[in-house]
Amino acid sequence: MLKRTGCALWRALLLTLLLSFEPAVAQEIEFGNGVICDRGEQAERYAALFKGNVNEALMQLNAEAKSDTACGVISAAYLRGNNVSKVANEEGTFIVARILIVGIVTPHGIQSIPPFIQFTLFKVEERAA
C-alpha cells in the first residue's frame, strides 16, 4: 500500500512538473554589426557617452572600465536573450539586451566560435502619434 501511494505521489509530482514548463520556442540566429559590452551597465554607459562618434565613446568607456576590451564593435551571428533595461539619448531610445554570440562574420562567411554572452543595444522603433 505504501508503495502505491508513493508511486501515485511521484506521478502527480511529475505531471505537475511537466505542465509547469512552457513549450520551447525556437530562436533564429541573427546577424548584426554593432557595439557589444561585457556587462549591461557598460552598454547603458555607452549610450550615455555616445555623441555621434563610436570610437570616442568606446575609448572613454574602456578607460573608465580600466579595460581595453570592456566594449567594442563586432560583426557577429548571435541569439538574442532577455532585455535588461531601457535607455535613451539624443539618438533615440534603446533596449539593452543580453546576446549569445555564436559566430563572427568574416569576408569568407560566418566563422563559428565558442558561444559567449555579451550585451548590446537595440533601437526602439518610435512611432509618431
Q: What is the mean pLDDT of residues 1-5?
A: 37
111, 104 in Cβ contact below 8 A? Answer: yes
- The per-residue pLDDT for 21 is 46
Question: Measured between alpha carbons, how far is 108 from 111 in angstroms, rounded to an integer?
Answer: 8
Higher pLDDT, 57 or 129: 57
C-alpha cell read off for 10: 511521484
According to the model, what pLDDT value does residue 11 have? 56
pLDDT tens track for 43-68:
999 999 999 999 999 999 999 999 99
